[in-house]
Amino acid sequence: MTDDTSTDIRVLVVDDEVLTAEAHAAYVERVDGFAVAAVAHSGSEAIRALRADAAIDLVLLDMNLPDTNGIDLCRSLRTAGLEIDVIAVTAVRDAAVVRSAVSLGIVQYLIKPFGFAAFAEKLGAYRDFHARVGSAVVTDQHEVDASFAALRTSTAADLPKSLSADTLDRVRAALRAAPAEGLSAGEVATIAAVSRVTARRYLEHLADSGVAARASRYGTPGRPEVLYRPR
């Protein structure tokens, strides 16, 4: 674990496999804006960690634990009044479990096995969501819609074969830094260190997936320039 700053999202990693928990903790430390607060290997350890540290923001939760399962643990957390965000990190693919996860407010569901790119994509989307809902008041419907849209990600498993997860990560990172009016494909290409054609292909994929929004910039001769910004 590393020292975190007050702006880091503090994460509790919960997995019964020691090596897996260590690997996920190492992944967390590689993603900007996150810090590992604690690691637990059972439901009871997780609850003790959460009660001991009220500043934990997010739980990365395996569904299979030695003393409980992730769904029951989430129910226990809600019953205890611990309204903490949870990302399920699990090999469980049962549709009933997924439905229960949604009903309990689990914000993301990441299926094992996965690489760092998919993991970072989920955490990056959560970071956007966390930043949007961090204020006490949501200003309007657009902001509500944008907050929920921030959780929708395009993982490597969903990508067309012509796209790569690593390049998608760079394009999304560039897009997250966009000013309010958005960025053109050329501007994203410069930030992400890819060609303009490549940037446009990935931006169009994000726009078609509902993660990015298109706008137009006028004021120059010829056709208006297409701009992209996070939804």
Residue type, 184: S
Distance from C-alpha of 85 to C-alpha of 66, rounded to nearest angstrom: 22
Sign of dihedral through CA atoms 156, 162, 167, 168?
A: negative
Q: Look at residue 4 in the predicted model and tell me its pLDDT.
A: 47
Q: Look at residue 9 in the predicted model and tell me its pLDDT.
A: 94
Distance from C-alpha of 72 to C-alpha of 119, rounded to nearest angstrom: 24
Q: Look at residue 230 in the predicted model and tell me its pLDDT.
A: 81
Distance from C-alpha of 192 to C-alpha of 177, rounded to nearest angstrom: 11
Q: Look at residue 41 in the predicted model and tell me its pLDDT.
A: 97
Distance from C-alpha of 69 to C-alpha of 101, rounded to nearest angstrom: 12
- DSSP-based three-state secondary structure for 137: coil
Q: Look at residue 2 in the predicted model and tell me its pLDDT.
A: 45
Do the Cβ atoms of 118 and 155 come closer than 8 Å?
yes
Q: How many CB atoms lie within 10 A of CB 98?
A: 17
Q: Look at residue 215 in the predicted model and tell me its pLDDT.
A: 87
Please report where in the chains the tokens 């969903």 appear, as a residue. 158
Residue type, 162: S
Q: Look at residue 39 in the predicted model and tell me its pLDDT.
A: 98
Environment class of 96 (CB within 10 Å of its CB; exposed 0-12, middle 13-18, buried 19+): exposed
Q: Look at residue 140 in the predicted model and tell me its pLDDT.
A: 53
Phi and psi angles of residue 213, each rounded to the nearest 5 degrees, phi first: -120, 145
Q: How many CB atoms lie within 10 A of CB 133?
A: 15
In total, the chain counts a number of residues equal to 231
Distance from C-alpha of 14 to C-alpha of 118, rounded to nearest angstrom: 18
Residues of the chain with pLDDT under 50: 1-4, 147, 154, 156-157
Sign of dihedral through CA atoms 61, 83, 9, 171?
A: positive
Q: Look at residue 71 in the predicted model and tell me its pLDDT.
A: 93
